[in-house]
Structure 1
């Protein structure tokens, strides 16, 4: 409970990140419980409930990553000598981050359960209760074991991912090139090749009646998305090296070196943003093809995933800004003008956009081939 006692007096940004984790866990828990309620109320759930549960894995994965990111950010921001002075070593730091992530997700799961029971009409005496009873299996007994299993999945996974992220080996040399770029490019190429070559299939129905795809198409999209995330740090580092090549001036040198230093910190969130954007483009093409809008649950899940990914990227950017605060102070002491520092930030952002936007467009164009041919 130490981390949460510290958070009570934290600034608004830290509180906002934890509240975002609670909200994301509540939304994901509600999606999982709605799948259970639909299975209870459907006469022949069959593979439909399984397909709904499979697509719920996407918001689950993003929510777990969000909780792990916020859970890692707090103890890593504390001074290690101060933690050691009060008897908190590496193991205690790992436990603090994992417990904070699990507790936030557990609070969100509790909120999801209350909202689900309210929508089903199981809470007597509450105004407007049961407003969604027709699609959540109202009148059927809710299996306690099944609901508990679904709600416990996100907190347990978030604790494990946060602990794995904090239990790291010794940090690499600052500015060293990440080694994941070739592997990420290879994974992305393999995933796109699988998507392009996958036949049409009706094994895995898409949400909101957007059609059906073969398992190979879904697997190819997952592999390509994972490749973009893996390649993110190496791609950012490469951009920084290219920016600082051939007699750079002060502006290019500052921007390029900063990108190389921050590649490991912001690379994976940037790759995750690109992967999410490609998925959004693919969904847009599918929606245009079938000619109807997304259903409420699908739109809610898409908004949840998009907001969580933006918070993950924003948290990484804030961590990078905090990490270079000492360097920024030193540059100001040396006489660097505020315009030069702002120009370096703008140049880094422009280079990232100039690389990420075309890459996302190319991957998204290839990813929609199976749906449009």
Structure 2
């Protein structure tokens, strides 16, 4: 009830973000229901239905990540002291964020269920041509309990991810100042430790993929997407997954590296400001940046593989899944950028009071964006080319 009341009285922009979460949940829920409909219409193709279900993991993970990003920017999570004064401690605040995320996803799941039955013709209408008969199993009964159970994975996964990401953490007390300690305080941001592990996982994934792709031609049906899923070599998919996880882990380190490069070789005020912000925000911005690079790299490699050995055209479920993943990871990155800007609002105000012109802050933001593109674009392209190379020979 409290989550509903807060949703009614929140800012319209926050409501728009939650509606986007509901839309992402609707797309993911529809893909899960399409898998159930295909299983009902093709009871003998158990393996095909299972692979379709496994392909839904990517949209589900992207939806959960987007839901966590939106929950981080919720006003209730950004002002814990005020909520604590109202009687909501850290644990209750985390539960409130998880419940709010679950409510948004339940709304999307309900829309997906309505669209699924509508396209199948179960609501007194004629089934959709092609989509309803071939992909959704129109004319074959679908158990309602099974559909609801499958749909529940979306809000439960998003709520669990939100609860884990926003869980209260113990803060270490700051050491007491000592008169004997004349060393200046450390102001440099801590370097993320995931860059070596990320590079190692990406290299291991590329090696696994190269080994698994030996003796298999691209025309044999490598990496078919929903609608043509049979023949996916498990080693290739595992290699791609390892490469993607490596990029995600390396994201904070790459963002921090961009800041180090800007601050190198006697920087001026502009480069120093842009570089310090990137180093300070590497932990907050790095993970969404890594996920975005991983998705773009996988999409580029998949398009190149299909262009080298054209199979049948992408089906509607492929378009829905790709749209959900791309929109979610892009929106997560933009949401993290908004969160980062709000987190350094006090620093920006202090710079303005010291006389820093607004044009300097705008140029610093532009320089940060250009540096990220210049550094991360070649890395993403290189991983994509190396991932697609064994499949297009």
TM-score range, shorter chain: over 0.9
Change (3 A) 1:271 1:76: farther
Please give the alpha-carbon distance, in whole angstroms, between the structure 2 residues aligned to 1:142 and 1:204.
Answer: 31
Please give the alpha-carbon distance, in whole angstroms, between the structure 1 residues aligned to 2:361 and 2:250.
Answer: 28
Gap runs ≥5 in structure 2: 173-186
Q: Does 2:147 correspond to 1:144?
A: no
Q: CA deviation at 1:168?
A: 4.8
Determine the structure 2 residue equivalent to 1:169: 169
Contact 2:90 2:168 in 1 (8 A): no
Determine the structure 1 residue equivalent to 2:11: 11
Q: CA deviation at 1:171?
A: 6.4
Q: CA deviation at 1:261?
A: 1.0
Please give the alpha-carbon distance, in whole angstroms, between the structure 1 residues aligned to 2:341 and 2:159.
Answer: 26
Q: CA deviation at 1:322?
A: 0.7
Between 1:74-83 and 1:266-275, the stretch displaced more is 74-83
Alignment of 1:4-153 (within 5 A): 4-42=4-42, 44-74=44-74, 77-124=77-124, 130-131=128-129, 132-135=131-134, 136-153=136-153
Q: Does 2:315 correspond to 1:316?
A: no
Change (3 A) 1:5 1:241: same
Q: CA deviation at 1:337?
A: 0.9
Contact 2:48 2:229 in 1 (8 A): no
Determine the structure 2 residue equivalent to 1:359: 379
Contact 2:133 2:139 in 1 (8 A): no
Determine the structure 2 residue equivalent to 1:265: 284
Between 1:284-293 and 1:157-166, the stretch displaced more is 284-293
**What TM-score results when the alignment is normalised by the length of structure 1?**
0.93
Contact 1:97 1:163 in 2 (8 A): yes
Question: Which protein shows a greater Rg?
Answer: 2
Determine the structure 2 residue equivalent to 1:182: 196
Contact 1:68 1:98 in 2 (8 A): no
Please give the alpha-carbon distance, in whole angstroms, between the structure 2 residues aligned to 1:210 and 1:156.
Answer: 27
Alignment of 1:281-292 (within 5 A): 281-291=300-310, 292=312
Please give the alpha-carbon distance, in whole angstroms, between the structure 2 residues aligned to 1:91 and 1:171.
Answer: 15
**What TM-score results when the alignment is normalised by the length of structure 2?**
0.89
Please give the alpha-carbon distance, in whole angstroms, between the structure 2 residues aligned to 1:77 and 1:63.
Answer: 19
Q: CA deviation at 1:330?
A: 0.7
Contact 1:210 1:287 in 2 (8 A): no
Between 1:283-292 and 1:93-102, the stretch displaced more is 283-292
Determine the structure 1 residue equivalent to 2:184: none
Q: CA deviation at 1:76?
A: 6.1
Alignment of 1:185-204 (within 5 A): 185-199=199-213
Change (3 A) 1:341 1:205: closer
For residues 138-184 of structure 1, the C-alpha deviation after alignment (integer angstroms, 9 at most, x for no partner) is 22221223212210111111111111101153469982221111111
Please give the alpha-carbon distance, in whole angstroms, between the structure 1 residues aligned to 2:376 and 2:191.
Answer: 19
Contact 1:210 1:290 in 2 (8 A): no
Between 1:286-295 and 1:161-170, the stretch displaced more is 286-295
Q: CA deviation at 1:210?
A: 7.8
For residues 347-371 of structure 1, the C-alpha deviation after alignment (integer angstroms, 9 at most, x for no partner) is 1001100111000110000111232
Gap runs ≥5 in structure 1: none
Contact 1:210 1:286 in 2 (8 A): no
